[in-house]
Amino acid sequence: MKKALLLLYLFPILVFSQNQIQGIVTDSKTNKPLPFASIITNTGFGVLTDVDGKFSIETKNSFNTIKISYIGYSPVEVLANTKNTFVRVKLTTSIENLDEVLITAKENPALQIIRNAIKNKPKNNIEIALNSFKFNAYNKILVTANPDSIDGKIDSVFILKKDGSKEFSKLDSSNFKFKKDILKQHLYISEKISQYQFQKGKKKKEVVLASRMAGLKQPVYELLGITLQDFSFYNEFYTLAGTKYTNPIAKNALKQYNYKILDTINNGNGKSIIIYFKPKENKEVLGIEGVLYIDTKQFAITKAIAELKGIVNVKASQNYNYLKTYKIWFPTIMNIVLRKGTTKENVSLFGGTIKFSENKKNDSIVNTSTRKESDVTYFISTTTNSNIHINTPISVKKAASTIQFKDDAHKKTEQFWNLYRSDSLTKRGETTYSFLDSVAKGEGVEKKINLARNILKGYFPTKYINLDLGKILNLNNYEGVRLGFGGETNQEFSTIFKIESYIGYGTKDKDIKYSVGASFRLNKNTNTWLGVNLTNDLKEAASLDFIKENNSFSPINPRNLNINKFYNYNTINTFISHDIQPNLEAKLQLSTGDYLPVFNYQFNTLNKAIVNYKLTLATLGVQYNPNSEYMNSPIGKLSIKNAFPQFTFQLTKSFENLFESDFDFTRINFRILHEIKPLRKATTTLLAEGGIVFGDAPISHLFNATPNYTFKNPWIKRITFAGKNSFETMGYNEFISDKFAALHIKHQLKPFNISLKFKPQLTLVTRAAIGAIKNPEYQSGLVFKNLNKGYLESGLEFNSLFKGFGLSGFYRYGAYKNLIWSDNLAIKLTYKLRLGF
């Protein structure tokens, strides 16, 4: 959800571009650009050239001269005046002088400095070296343009004829209008005031004191959970625009980056060496390019600049101040800028969610000006840290909730904002807020955001009720087409009380199913709810299910198409759900009711012969995602980082004779999901699941290992849709167990970039299962096998071949291999739902 809604920020800048170029620095002999050369005005204002040797100076104070310096080159001083709109500077080489740095090895001197920086990371990384810290941070995001970079002239548009001549078409006044508008306001603005807290051994926590987004009464909370750039430049991976890159001072960084000393400068506490880093060529792991300012005493980072070049140029910087009392460099100003780049290389931002590619131009249209609105617009996010407290007593509670919003964060007064703003809100900023607020209100932007947020969760919002899209249509072999209607009340109805209900009708079994329930919120911070529910519905026999797990919305489960072994349950239950920690969720459920298998079945022992039975159950479900992070927002708990591994555990106890219950057994289920995803490489997913039953249990609480194959003839009828994590060559109810374990391994390769629209993806799959059943003769009416010899299947999935559809093939082998080879082969269709975000 957070990735999809990010487009609200980026929509105005999807085709944006660089500011006006004011200079370029090159080598006098080779004419090659000199990246990150130092440019300082006579008034002390300084910038660095970018990776192409280009620079732009914009300052309020007038200046007369510019001094350009670069390590190993003779410095040059250039006169500056209003006539010099573009300056070309050529530097000549000189003998490098690095007497301040003690280098003993006969190698690139930058390498030893980087090694020292890596070695001293534990001393310089504030999240390791300090016991605690807290500070305030003011963040401002703008989508804007520099009015001086816009021509503002009315252009002429011509049509290019076949003979090469041009024919006048019309006048284009867009640049003129754009400059007029941008003088008055920005394209977009948002602000945030936060307090950051850190306690050693726990994750850093952000408490949002105030938040404001132009056009919205409440901010889009999902957007505020996105990491534009890492707070620290000391992690093994540095996050830039939501995508991870190997840090140039990571443990293995020297294998992936080249380094070069550029210069030495005063840092206020001594000197810093400026080191340029760039990814080595022909390396699979993509790196970032930039410069590190490294202190010569502590080998700490005093400033860092990281840049990603492509169709979109991303440039981030971090500035550090030296805290003398604690002898540590603390980050104080963070900045990230997104512009249109100068190369044609595709760029993936925010983990690949947003991809930019070069659009084809209409060669028949010619403008008199090559610069458009999109060529001067940029996105900039600036964060200023203040009121820093080091090693003071801090207790960070529920650290997995890394972002917590004050309930009144979106209602703060202007006086409150002015207490924390590092720079006052300009007239352009005020105009931007008032203009976009009125536009968004007229176009119902907040309603559209609410619609998108709920659709992604599987709901369609109305004023007081969110309709459950998953209840409208379902298909299975017993009910046929199941039509239904359901939903739950939303926050507009009540923030502490919720009613949920659904009803369904099967066209094949001609029966009605229903559920109705209500719950109360006991505690917002711990997400504690107490509820009761009455249900009369169907469930697959011997399925592995959990009352507490993260389920994504799926309108139709294709695996259900061939399932015909269901049981009916008519139960009443009460539950309490509670977050022990934000990443440790628990649910306790007590239920009692009637169960009836809707197929030929009887539980048959010397003492019992039961078809329909009663169960009284106590179930404890736990979901633990130790590395995931969450946001506690006014609209509820939101996930901001879905990390692995993820653990799901469930304990069910059946009490015989309690409310006439017929069975006494204990059932334990587990599921462990892990994902290994190296940077820009293939993804390996590991899923281990299983369960065990102590005592005698009926078919409803045994295990079938999630089969998804039918032995229909002719063979073509066996081609159905593949399940998510099911055995594609295992027949329905071919195996029944009271104890089993399964392992699913998927190795998903990177998509093949064949064309802009055709990017198929290959996945290698292997599955294994083993199980046993103590008294198979008790399950009368079913013909099944024992899984004690071990089951194996492997296959390939070719996904996204056409409009989300793909094709997969699996083969069954090992102890349970069938005599006829075609009975071991499963060909399945696959489908990946794309919502277009």
Please report the pLDDT score of residue 20 as a whole number. Answer: 38
Kindly give, in sequence order, each residue whose CB lies less than 8 Å from that of residue 412, ignoring residues fewer than 6 positions away.
193, 209, 210, 212
| Alpha-carbon span 183 to 180, nearest angstrom | 6
Contact 39, 47 (CB under 8 A): yes
**Residues in a beta bridge with 108:** none
CA distances from 16 to 49, 354, 371, 498 (A): 20, 14, 11, 45
Residue 263, CB-side half-sphere exposure with 13 Å CA sphere? 17
What pLDDT does 413 receive?
Answer: 94
Higher pLDDT, 834 or 744: 744
- Identify the burial level of 382 via C-beta atoms within 10 angstroms of its C-beta, where 0-12 means exposed, 13-18 middle and 19 or more buried: middle
Judged against a pLDDT cut of 90, whether residue 391 lies above it is answered with yes
Q: How far is Cα 626 from Cα 622, in angstroms, rounded to an integer?
A: 12
Q: What value does the mean pLDDT take over residues 117-136?
A: 96
Tokens 């001393």 belong to residue: 123
**H/E stretch holding 610:** strand 609-610
The larger pLDDT score, comparing residue 572 to residue 13, is at 572
- Give the mean pLDDT of 745-754: 91
Contacts for 83 with CB less than 8 Å, ≥ 6 apart: none
Which of 394, 678, 690, 648 lies closest to 546 in space, CA to CA?
648
pLDDT above 90 coverage of the chain, percent: 56
Residue with tokens 């207790």: 395
Please choose, from the candidates 204, 136, 137, 126, the residue with its C-alpha nearest in 3D space to the C-alpha of residue 383: 137
Residue with tokens 């209900």: 501
Per this entry, what is the length of the chain?
837
Q: d(Cα 804, Cα 109) in Å, to the nearest integer? A: 52
Our CA angle for 766, 769, 771, nearest 5°, is 175
pLDDT band at 33 (very low <50, low <70, confident <90, very high): confident
Give the N- to C-terminal CA distance of the chain in Å, as an integer. 9
Please state, as a whole number, how many other Cβ atoms lie within 10 Å of the Cβ of residue 372. 18
Q: Which domains does the chain have, with CATH numbers?
A: 2-15+115-443 (no CATH), 23-108 (2.60.40.1120)
| 646 close to 672: Cβ distance less than 8 angstroms | yes
pLDDT digits (tens, 9 = 90+) for 611-666: 999 999 999 999 999 999 999 888 888 988 899 999 999 999 999 999 999 999 99
**Which residues are 802's β-sheet partners?**
805
Q: Which long-range contacts (CB under 8 A, 24 or more apart) does 327-331 make?
A: 327/298, 328/124, 328/126, 328/129, 328/130, 328/300, 328/390, 329/124, 329/295, 329/298, 329/300, 329/301, 329/302, 330/126, 330/133, 330/385, 330/388, 330/390, 331/126, 331/231, 331/232, 331/233, 331/385
**What is the DSSP code string of 343-403?**
S---EEEGGGTEEE-PPPP-TTEEES-S--GGGTEEEEEEEEEEEEEES------STTS-E
Q: Which residues contact 836 (CB under 8 A, 6 or more apart)?
A: none
Residue 496 near residue 546 (C-beta atoms within 8 A): no
- State CA 673 to chain mean position distance: 17
- Note the pLDDT of residue 160: 61
Q: In this structure, are residues 704 and 745 in contact, taking their beta carbons and an 8 Å threshold? A: no
CA neighbor of 248 nearest in space, from 281, 274, 294, 279 = 279
Residue appearing with tokens 């001197």? 109
Find the mean pLDDT for residues 341-358: 57
pLDDT in tens, 411-444: 999 999 999 998 889 999 999 999 999 999 898 9
- Checking 343-346 for CB contacts under 8 A at 24+ apart, the result is 343/309, 343/310, 343/311, 344/311, 345/309, 345/310, 345/311, 346/310, 346/311
Rounded to two decimals, the pTM is 0.84
Taking the C-alpha atoms of residue 47 and residue 52, their distance in angstroms, rounded to an integer, is 14
Averaged pLDDT of the chain: 86
Q: Which tokens sit at 126?
A: 């504030």
Of 619, 612, 683, which is closest to residue 651 (Cα–Cα)?
619
Does 714 sit behind a cis peptide bond, omega within 30 degrees of 0 on the bond before it?
yes
DSSP 8-state symbol, 111: H
Rounded to 10 deg, the angle between the 427-443 and 445-457 helix axes is 60
Q: What's the pLDDT at 383? A: 95
Region of residue 387 (left: phi > 0; alpha: psi -120 to 50; beta: else) = left
What are the structure tokens assigned to 210, written together?
A: 């105030």
Distance of CA 417 to the CA centre of its chain: 30
Q: How far apart are CA 190 and CA 429, in angstroms?
A: 9
Q: Mean pLDDT across the stretch 53-59? A: 79
Q: Summarize pLDDT for 763-787 with one digit per residue, the tens.
A: 999 999 999 999 999 999 999 999 9
Question: From edge to edge, which strands make up the β-sheet containing 779-780?
Answer: 609-610, 602-604, 779-780
Q: Is a pLDDT exceeding 80 seen at residue 832?
A: no
Which of 374-383, 396-405, 737-746 has the highest average model confidence (pLDDT)? Answer: 737-746
- Tell me the per-residue pLDDT of 394-403, one tens digit each, with 9 for 90 and over: 888 776 678 9
- The identity of residue 529, as a single letter, is W
Distant-in-sequence, close-in-space partners of 427: CB < 8 Å, separation ≥ 6: none
Q: Is the dihedral of CA 443, 445, 448, 450 positive or negative?
A: negative
Q: Give the C-alpha separation, 709 to 717, whole Å.
A: 11
The pLDDT tens digits for 298-335 are 999 999 999 887 778 888 999 999 999 999 999 999 99
Tokens of residue 534, six digits:
């009455």
What is the rounded distance in angstroms from the CA atom of residue 127 to the CA atom of residue 204?
8
Among 20, 797, 779, 644, CA closest to 370 = 20
pLDDT of 209 strictly over 60: yes
